[in-house]
């Protein structure tokens, strides 16, 4: 079994003339699926590009099985699969031709390459569509081609950056299952701003906002942080706008007797409100949303 230890020590990145897009991120990772969550602009893609050795950290260091990536990026590249956020395909080629081309770029050729291309296409469920032009593929199918190309070298580290953007719910679900199947002994890092993308599959979560790492742990540990901060009660429909203005609204459900609202608050928001068991979505909003900032400010 290949080793699979990725370590980030106080990693930071600053774009020329800009603020710190990533600041002081430390993480120790092993096999499993890490869901990297964060709102737009949190620094996820910048971090992923450093992990994929596309850019070097401005500060700190990243090691793969103990080797510093700044000094020896090839230590990782041979065993890395990367699906960037802006992955594009050649519409005139079939999936089989496209992957054959990329296999050759990666140094695979002959029957071995053909076998590998077939294997990766069937792994992502595109065996039957392999000879169709990529221009005719749906968004979800194209993203699966993106995963297939990332799998060509049977990577130990698989990095996928916002792979579900633009997919419909069915394709999104299929993509989640695919990543779960692929995990095994590898480390899969999946970035997204959609909690349900990682809810069922991630063994660990890292949450970023404004360049900083706000949480690293299991989904259960994240949920525990929101315990006692998620409330529900029923209001008259005309009070909805007021509740929305005063609290972070996580959900609302129209019922015959009124609207059942679900809000985040650090203390009981209303005489009728009851604390309810948090879901992962609530906990993520609690960690990254305005309620969290307000509660944080009050405690300092
Ligand atoms: N090429 C660049 N030059 C300057 N600033 C950049 C560049 N790319 C990203 N940034 C800035 O760095 C910060 C982090 O961006 P990044 O793309 O890493 O976030 P993200 O979490 O991946 O968000 P998204 O999901 O929107 O891509 C943002 O403030 C962004 O504006």
Long-range CB pairs of 48-54 (<8 Å, 24+ gap) are 48/82, 48/84, 48/85, 48/159, 48/161, 48/189, 48/191, 49/84, 50/11, 50/13, 50/22, 51/6, 51/8, 51/157, 51/159, 51/189, 52/80, 52/82, 52/84, 52/159, 53/77, 53/80, 54/82, 54/84
CA diameter of the chain: 72
Q: For ligand 1, what atom is nearest to the CA of residue 46?
A: 18
Q: How far apart are CA 175 and CA 168, in angstroms?
A: 11
Q: How far apart are CA 278 and CA 102, in angstroms?
A: 45
Tally: H helices and E strands in the chain? 11, 14
Is 115 in contact with 146 (CB distance < 8 Å)? no
How many CA atoms does the CB half-sphere of 200 hold within 13 Å? 12
Confidence at residue 201, expressed as pLDDT on a 0 to 100 scale: 87
DSSP state of 76: H
Q: What are phi and psi of 239, to 5 degrees?
A: -95, 0
Instruction: Establish whether residue 50 lines the binding site of ligand 1, counting it when its CB lies within 6 angstroms of any ligand atom.
Output: no
> Ligand 1 atom 25: the closest Cα is on which residue?
40
Q: For ligand 1, what atom is nearest to the CA of residue 39?
A: 21
Confidence at residue 299, expressed as pLDDT on a 0 to 100 scale: 43
Is 6 in contact with 47 (CB distance < 8 Å)? no
Q: For ligand 1, what atom is nearest to the CA of residue 193?
A: 25
* 86: CB partners within 8 A, 6+ apart: none
**15 Cα: distance to centroid of ligand 1 (angstroms):** 9
Relative to beta strand 32-37, strand 187-192 is: parallel
Report residue 35 as tokens: 């869901």
Instruction: Establish whether residue 209 lines the binding site of ligand 1, counting it when its CB lies within 6 angstroms of any ligand atom.
Output: no
Burial of 189 from C-beta contacts in 10 A (0-12 / 13-18 / 19+): buried
**54 Cα: distance to centroid of ligand 1 (angstroms):** 15
| Domains annotated on the chain, with CATH | 6-217 (3.40.50.300), 224-298 (no CATH)
Is 21 in contact with 211 (CB distance < 8 Å)? yes
Q: How far apart are CA 171 and CA 140, in angstroms?
A: 6
Instruction: Establish whether residue 17 lines the binding site of ligand 1, counting it when its CB lies within 6 angstroms of any ligand atom.
Output: no
Relative to beta strand 187-192, strand 157-161 is: parallel
Is 34 in contact with 204 (CB distance < 8 Å)? yes
Per-residue pLDDT tens digits of the chain, which is 300 residues long: 579 999 999 999 999 888 899 999 999 999 999 999 999 899 999 999 999 999 999 999 999 999 999 999 999 998 999 999 888 888 999 999 999 999 998 888 889 999 999 999 998 889 999 999 999 998 888 989 999 999 999 999 999 998 887 778 888 888 888 888 888 789 999 999 889 888 888 999 999 999 999 999 999 999 999 999 999 999 999 999 999 999 999 999 999 999 999 999 999 999 999 999 999 999 999 998 775 555 444 443
**42 Cα: distance to centroid of ligand 1 (angstroms):** 7
**86 Cα: distance to centroid of ligand 1 (angstroms):** 13
Q: How many CB atoms lie within 10 A of CB 194?
A: 15
DSSP state of 47: H
> Ligand 1 atom 10: the closest Cα is on which residue?
21
Measured CA distances, 36 to 8, 125, 132, 163, 183 (Å): 14, 25, 33, 12, 15
Round to the nearest angstrom and report the end-to-end CA distance of the chain.
Answer: 48
Q: For ligand 1, what atom is nearest to the CA of residue 17?
A: 4
Q: Say which residue the tokens 């990297």 belong to.
A: 36
Is 58 in contact with 14 (CB distance < 8 Å)? yes
**37 Cα: distance to centroid of ligand 1 (angstroms):** 14
Instruction: Establish whether residue 18 lines the binding site of ligand 1, counting it when its CB lies within 6 angstroms of any ligand atom.
Output: yes
Is 152 in contact with 103 (CB distance < 8 Å)? yes
> Ligand 1 atom 4: the closest Cα is on which residue?
15
Q: Which of 12, 39, 42 to mutate to test the pocket of ligand 1 (most atoms within 8 A of CB)?
A: 42
Instruction: Establish whether residue 192 lines the binding site of ligand 1, counting it when its CB lies within 6 angstroms of any ligand atom.
Output: no
Is 52 in contact with 80 (CB distance < 8 Å)? yes
Confidence at residue 1, expressed as pLDDT on a 0 to 100 scale: 53
């Amino acid at each position: 079994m290949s080793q699979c230890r990725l370590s980030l020590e106080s990693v930071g990145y600053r774009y020329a003339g800009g603020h710190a897009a990533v600041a002081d991120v430390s993480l120790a990772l092993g096999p499993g699926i890490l869901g990297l969550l964060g709102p737009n602009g949190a620094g996820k893609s910048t971090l992923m590009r450093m992990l994929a050795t596309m850019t070097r950290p401005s500060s700190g260091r990243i090691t793969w099985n103990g080797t510093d990536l700044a000094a020896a990026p090839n230590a990782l590249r041979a065993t890395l699969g990367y699906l960037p956020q802006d992955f594009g395909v050649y519409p005139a080629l079939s999936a089989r031709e496209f992957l054959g081309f990329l296999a050759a770029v990666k140094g695979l050729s002959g029957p071995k390459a053909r076998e590998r291309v077939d294997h990766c296409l069937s792994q992502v469920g595109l065996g039957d569509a392999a000879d169709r032009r990529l221009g005719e593929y749906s968004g979800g199918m194209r993203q699966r081609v993106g995963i297939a190309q990332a799998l060509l070298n049977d990577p130990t580290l698989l990095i996928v950056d916002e792979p579900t953007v633009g997919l419909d719910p069915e394709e999104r679900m299929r993509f989640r299952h695919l990543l779960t199947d692929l995990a095994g002994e590898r480390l899969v890092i999946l970035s997204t701003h959609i909690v349900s993308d990682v809810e069922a599959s991630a063994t660990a979560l890292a949450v970023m906002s404004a360049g900083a790492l706000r949480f690293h742990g299991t989904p259960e540990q994240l949920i525990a942080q929101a315990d006692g901060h998620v409330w529900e009660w029923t209001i008259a429909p005309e009070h909805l706008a007021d509740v929305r203005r005063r609290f972070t609204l996580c959900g609302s459900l129209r019922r015959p007797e009124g609207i059942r609202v679900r809000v985040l608050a650090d203390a009981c928001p209303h005489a009728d409100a009851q604390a309810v068991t948090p879901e992962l979505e609530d906990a993520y909003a609690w960690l990254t949303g305005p309620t969290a900032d307000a509660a944080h400010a009050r405690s300092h």
